[in-house]
Structure 1
Amino acid sequence: MSQSEKVNKGSGEGKTQDMAIFSPPVVRSGAGALNRALFTKTVNLAAAAVNDNRLISKYRKELEHSKELLRQERLSPIVNHPDKTLADQGKKCLLLSPSVKAPEPDTWGTALKEGVEKKELDVIPYELKLDYDYWSYHDIITSILPEELHDDIPSGFNTAGHVAHMNLRERYIPYKKVIAELILDKTQNIRTVINKVDNVGAESEFRTFQYEVLAGPDDMQVQVTENNCVFEFDYAKVYWNSKLEAEHRRLINMFEPGEVVCDVMAGIGPFAVPAGKKGVFVWANDMNPESNKYMQVAINRNKVSQYVRPFCQDGRTFIHHAADSVLEAHKASEHVLIAPKPPSRAKKAPKPEPKRVDIPPTISHFVMNLPATAIEFLGCYRGVYAGHEDLFEGGKLMPMVHVHCFSFKADDETPRNDICERITKYLGFKVKPGNPDVEGEVAVHDVRDVAPAKRMFCASFRIPREAAFAKRD
């Protein structure tokens, strides 16, 4: 998984052998308490004691082939001899399948029988000790939760650096502490587990949320790496969603070096900063002062200040402002100089001149990643290039808008038709699903599920000339 995690279900599902004897003890607890000491178990097996360690590899292959070797997740079949004196001498054993019984030669296969006859093996009883560290999150939470809660055990969460962010359903709330402790124990690099206690944006226009700390310190200052860029921020004060990494990458791959992108709701810069690293000029805006602050941190940390310009304005105002600002930067001959690659080792090689890249006069892409309301901003594109029709002469394409939104989850055209109807309403121009390079047509990309009947989409289309060149209000 990228930054979005799913706790390992381990041997609770998909076992290589159907052996319930390796399941943890059932520890039902009405209080949802985690007592790690209760998770111990002795499994009685048979083992093939190898009298010469040089034969371990040979018999391991033979017993694997005959399916007599133990095949169990997270368990090595090679163990020390249970007799301490022999173990101190370096003697090893091969653990055998539960179907093999030490005192019952009729359960032994040919390889075992021949090894015993040759005095190269001894088949002996073996007590395998299992404890809390052996079992997975899913194993243990299944043994704790009552059976009526087994149908949809919480296992997925978002991550932001060392923080695991859960959104527990009401019926699992009594077990929230044990779930959180298990996540800490069973997930690498997680130090804090939180649970969302309201809907994102329900109490904040900046898409932040109220949370409770379930385990670990209340430390929300995190660092994450995405698309080869490092971001540092306070997760309690800005919006971040680890499930959007693939969507960020998808759009960034559409941007070409030397183009201008206007990121209207940029957050801390998951589109803007990697695009800048690619050599794309980005006018990046977010109305949340905290997001703007941490975006500037990311710009400096990732050394893209010559490409990415941060702003803190209302998105509706910013759309026209960015178009005007980019044109002014072009007229002022603003540019970047790209340092050339070092010359070859050949002596007296002439030093190449730096490459100059001028800021173009128009924006190639507008990104609007505010799925709850971004479509409502589309009317602001009316007049975005009023009086500048000449900038798009000679067949130059109009800017592409990528607007994220929510709609119904359905396998038919219902969500696409719904999105196009809403774009038509707010843009004031009739659109339909189709090729985004054709005026009046929209490409609708499925991004991800957000609820059982709700899905996030990204609608991409070129601004109609009629709208772009309309008189500004």
Structure 2
Amino acid sequence: MSSLLRPPTIRSAFGVLDRSLFSKTVNLAAAAVADKKKISVWRQKLQSEDTLLAFERIPGVVAHPDQTLAAQGTKCLLLNPKVKAEVPETWTSSLQDGVASKEIGIVPYNLSLDYDYWSYEDVMKSLLPPDLRDEHDGIPGGFNQAGHVAHMNLREAFLPYKKLIAEVILDKNPAVRTVINKVANVGTESEFRTFAYEVLAGPDDLNVEVRENDCLFRFDYSKVYWNSKLEGEHRRLVNIFRPGEVVCDVMAGIGPFAVPAGKKEVFVWANDYNPESYRYMDENIKRNKVDQYVRPFNQDGRTFIREAADLVYAASTKGEYVVSGPSRKLRRSQHPNSNTTDKSMPNPKPKHTPIPPTISHFVMNLPASAITFLSHFRGLYATREELFVPHTNTKLPMVHVYCFAAKADDDTPLKDICERISAELGVEMKLGEAENAKEVSVLETRNVAPNKRMFCASFRVPPDVAFAARV
């Protein structure tokens, strides 16, 4: 960026934001186009030779600085700062030719910028001391947003500036009304992955509404776990599920996997140990009208793993099913006033989808400890071998377990994950393809910290685990 268009350097006192100090006037030159019909012609010509001012959020075409000419509709093209109105030697040949032909005139133009123009990064670079920025590789810019709440995790060195940082975040993010800062690590103070926080700016209102993967979620952010950065991972896994399958979501939270899966007509047995998560999940299931497909539970995930397998089997043997009507598109086409209605076609009948006897996928999104739950898969389908290959075409369930591991440039973390899975299952599992027997595919899902990554390990439950005797 040209130094002319950098914000002023301001060393404000802790917690004090004087927006008026960010006002700045930049002296530029502008090409006044005599015939407004030729503005686009001159714009293309000057753009091709890199003579126009090219900065985001600054309009290229402005009114003439002379109010009389501006009232007459005369427009100007802002020029690169290297062009000086009073120094013809800085004019390009196109500018000189335009002036000579009287098609344009080169005039001084004072560009006024204020606090609203500068981005969050611009403002913080002006406010924070350079040594602090260098030491911590930039500025504290990242936050996890849940509805109107911006959730920060500020490092200790930035804490003296926390109110200032929060105030600027509110200014520069219209959708944010409350800024909070985490004051303890997730899981260190609550078994439910909730965290202690302080409000840095805005009202202490953490009742939020979030839209994700075509679903609406409402919840109290202070009482449940939610991470908007996982939206892509939620979508990836839901896209793997097929309508009519059964998914067991062992640590379902408020339903970011379960509710979108239900919209796909996937049966989901969704469990969370946190009573608040269970309550909001139940509400979100009903709110998104997927209660036919998604059943909420509030149990310890260790006992729920085998109980879910038994409950699904019982529902199937009792002949439970879901009745669904025609799609909205088909209903519209069959409406009496629709031009596409075929009067000879019979009305579509409701579809009956039976619950299958087995679970196709287990989801275990508790990365700090989910792997330790795997021992409870032993005996998952004890005495029910006839439900699976080779007696039927049904494969044993696929498990998707999330976990943390250290960052590395080789596959050491992936092998470490496989070893941890093997230790819990009591069966040796190797790194490979999830569809292959006793192999695990491991996918990195996101960075958690400079030396910490989150992974999703997927594998099919080995037969000697699934059919082992229950203890």
Amino acid at match of 2:272: D
User: 1:395: how far off?
Assistant: 5.0
1:338 CA displacement? 2.2
SS of corresponding position for 2:43: helix
- 1:121 to partner: Cα distance: 1.6
Corresponding residue of 2:98: 115
Deviation string for 1:264-314 (max 9, x for gaps)? 000000000000000100000001111111111111111101100000001
- Superposed CA offset, 1:242-264 (max 9, x none): 11111111111111110000000
The correspondence for 1:432, drawn from 425, 430, 436, is 430
1:81 aligned residue: 64
**Mean Cα deviation higher: 226-235 or 93-102:** 93-102
Matched, 1:376 2:362: no
- SS state at 1:252 partner: helix
Q: Is the CA contact 1:32–1:144 (under 8 Å) kept in the aligned structure 2?
A: no
Partner of 1:390: 386
Are residues 210 and 124 of structure 1, via their aligned partners in 2, closer, same or farther at CA, if it must alter by over 3 Å?
same
* Aligned residue in 2 for 1:354: 350
- Residues 129-164 of structure 1 deviation map (CA, whole Å, 9 limit, x = unaligned): 111111111111101111112232111111101111
SS at match of 2:240: coil
1:461 aligns with 2:463: no
SS at match of 2:143: strand
Task: State yes or no: 1:452 paired with 2:450.
Answer: yes
CA contact (8 A) 1:141 1:179 kept: yes
| 8 A contact 2:312–2:356 mirrored in 1 | yes
- Mapped to 1, the partners of 2:229 and 2:363 lie a distance apart of 18
Query: Aligned-pair distance for 1:427?
Result: 1.2
Q: Does 1:364 align with 2:360?
A: yes
Kept after mapping to 2: 8 A contact 1:436/1:443: yes
- Match of 2:229, SS state, is helix
Higher-RCO chain (CA-CA 8 Å, sequence separation at least 6)? 1
Report what 1:338 is aligned to. 324
1:38 is aligned with what amino acid? Answer: L
Q: Report the more deviating stretch, 24-33 or 354-363.
A: 24-33
Among candidates 85, 88, 113, match of residue 130 of structure 1: 113
**1-structure distance, mates of 2:289, 2:393:** 35
DSSP 3-state at the match of 1:152:
coil
8 Å CA contact 1:337–1:356 kept in 2: the answer is: yes
Cα deviation, residue 79, structure 1 = 1.1
Q: Deviations over 1:361-395 (max 9, x none)?
A: 00011110000010111111111111111111235
Equivalence for 1:412? 410
Aligned residue identity for 2:71: D
> 3-state DSSP class of the match of 1:125?
strand
Structure 1 residues 48-88: Cα deviation after superposition (integer angstroms, max 9, x where no partner): 12222222112111111222211122111211111122222
* Structure 2 counterpart of 1:401: 399
* Pairing of 1:248-267 with structure 2 (within 5 A): 248-267=234-253
CA deviation string 1:24-59 (max 9, x = no partner):
111012424211010011111111122222221121
- Equivalent pairs, count: 456
Q: Given the two structures, how large is their TM-score scaled by the length of structure 2?
A: 0.94
Aligned-partner SS, 1:333:
coil
Shift of 1:411: 2.1
Letter in 2 for 1:105: P
Alignment of 1:108-257 (within 5 A): 108-150=91-133, 151-257=137-243
Once residues 156 and 20 of structure 2 are traced to their aligned partners in structure 1, the CA distance between those partners, rounded to angstroms, is 28
Letter of the aligned partner of 1:236 in structure 2?
S
Which runs of 5 or more residues in structure 2 are unaligned?
335-339
Would the aligned equivalents of 1:388 and 1:469 in 2 still touch at CA under 8 Å?
A: yes
Secondary structure of the residue aligned to 1:401 is strand
Q: 1:299 corresponds to which residue?
A: 285
The match for 1:281 among 250, 260, 267 is 267
> How far apart are 1:438 and its partner, in Å?
2.1
Alpha-carbon separation, structure 2, partners of 1:30 and 1:225: 38
Question: Would the aligned equivalents of 2:14 and 2:164 in 1 still touch at CA under 8 Å?
Answer: no
Of 77, 85, 99, the residue aligned with 2:82 is 99
Match of 2:337 in 1: none
**Cα distance in structure 2, aligned partners of 1:411 and 1:279:** 40
Partner amino acid for 1:428?
G
When structure 1 is superposed on structure 2, of 118-127 and 135-144 the one drifting more is 118-127
Q: 2:400 and 2:80 mapped to 1: Cα distance? A: 57
8 Å Cα contact 1:420-1:431 kept in structure 2: yes
Alignment RMSD:
1.3
**What is the rounded CA distance, in whole Å, between the counterparts of 1:103 and 1:400 in structure 2?**
73
Q: Which amino acid aligns with 2:449?
A: A
Q: Could you tell me how far 1:352 is from its partner in structure 2?
A: 2.5
Helix, strand or coil for the counterpart of 1:99?
coil
Contact 2:182 2:195 in 1 (8 A): yes
CA contact (8 A) 1:378 1:423 kept: yes
Corresponding residue number in structure 1 for 2:310: 324
TM-aligned CA deviation for residue 321 of structure 1: 1.1
Percent same amino acid at aligned positions? 62
Q: Secondary structure at the match of 2:291?
A: coil
Structure-2 separation of matches of 1:415 and 1:246: 22
